[in-house]
Amino acid sequence: MEFAQICDRVETDIPAGPMDLSGLPGTWVNTNPDSNGIARMVISETDGNVSLQVYAIGPEVLIDWGAADAAVFASTPKSGVGAGFTCRFDFGFAETQLQAMIMKGLIVLAQFHTFKDQSGRVDYFVREYFALAHEQYQK
């Protein structure tokens, strides 16, 4: 089998080039001011590699999750434009997998939280929306 769904059937003689990542880098801010999850993400690109720094809501200040490498995906097998990503943060007691896609200028972020510490907390899912912060608001 050469394809699992009809959209996988594409011309294979198209020369492969680097993916256009220009739509991803920047500071992305949660559009929900009442969120108790991720407040903002900083996406960086260096030499074709994308990393994600996450800042989550804490009791008094933002909690810096650190940076993680992100795997970037196009919207179709033919597209050369980065349209989404996935990455993973391991906190020891828990692990969070992030999956994102850009839709209508926003990042739609799916979060899968899994607890590993036998605390009895139930694994959970969250979906939130992030807008690219304009330069004037980052000062």
The CATH number covering residue 94 comes to 2.40.128
pLDDT, tens digit only, all 139 positions of the chain: 576 766 666 665 555 678 899 999 999 999 999 999 999 999 999 999 999 999 999 999 999 999 999 999 998 888 889 999 999 999 999 999 999 999 999 999 999 999 999 999 999 999 999 999 976 445 4
Q: Name residue 60's beta-bridge partners.
A: none
Is 9 contained in some domain?
Answer: no
Count of C-beta atoms within a 10 Å radius of residue 2: 6
Query: Is the C-alpha dihedral spanning 131, 132, 137, 139 positive or negative?
Result: positive
Tell me the pTM: 0.87
- Within-domain flag for 135: no
**Residues paired with 29 in a beta bridge:** 40, 131
**Structural domains counted in the chain:** 1
**Placement of tokens 């009791």 in the chain:** 59
Residues of the domain holding 26: 22-130
8 A C-beta contact, residue 115 and residue 123: yes
